[in-house]
Amino acid sequence: MDVAPKTKVLILDDERFLLYMYQIVFEKNGYEVSTYQSADDALAALRAGYDPDVILFDLTMPDGRSGYEFLEILGREGLSKRSMKIALTNEGQDGEKQRLAELGADAHMLKAAYIPSQLASVVKDMYGKWKLNKTP
């Protein structure tokens, strides 16, 4: 019996409690989860060859690089080309969404619109649709 590989998700957020909550929710839903509190740590993992299916990242991280900088570096260095990139943030102005799209984000989600227990199923649906659109 073949067991499908788990979907790998990288979560980047400076709030330790949220990372913990997200990790529990995603793992309960069958994901393989890696969490990072700093963009530099996440970038180090990606540069070392970690290749997640989905990257969820916050935009505002006061103690280091912003999510915008993180996304810009991903593009510049050609990291995680096959990963779906989702900004998970409380920033939702149209200009911010446009900038995210220009930098390579595939989606934008407002944190305040979802409780952590909803997030895994919403991401699963988004990722499934995204994969269908990426398949030649």
Domains in the chain and their CATH numbers?
A: 8-134 (3.40.50.2300)
Residue 60 confidence class, pLDDT cut points 50, 70, 90? confident
**β-strand 54-57 against 107-110: which pairing, if any?**
unpaired
pLDDT of 3 higher than 70: no
C-alpha 48/C-alpha 118 separation (Å) is 31
The token pair at 104 is 């390579």
Orientation angle between helical segments 94-103 and 67-77, nearest 10 degrees: 20
pLDDT score for 29: 93
Q: Tell the residue number behind the tokens 């991401």, with chain if given.
A: 123
Exposed, middle or buried: residue 114 (CB in 10 Å: 0-12, 13-18, 19+)?
Answer: middle
pLDDT category of residue 73 using cuts at 50, 70 and 90: very high
Q: Tell me, yes or no, if the pTM score tops 0.85.
A: yes
**What is the pLDDT at residue 43?**
97
Residue 135 has pLDDT above 70, yes or no: no
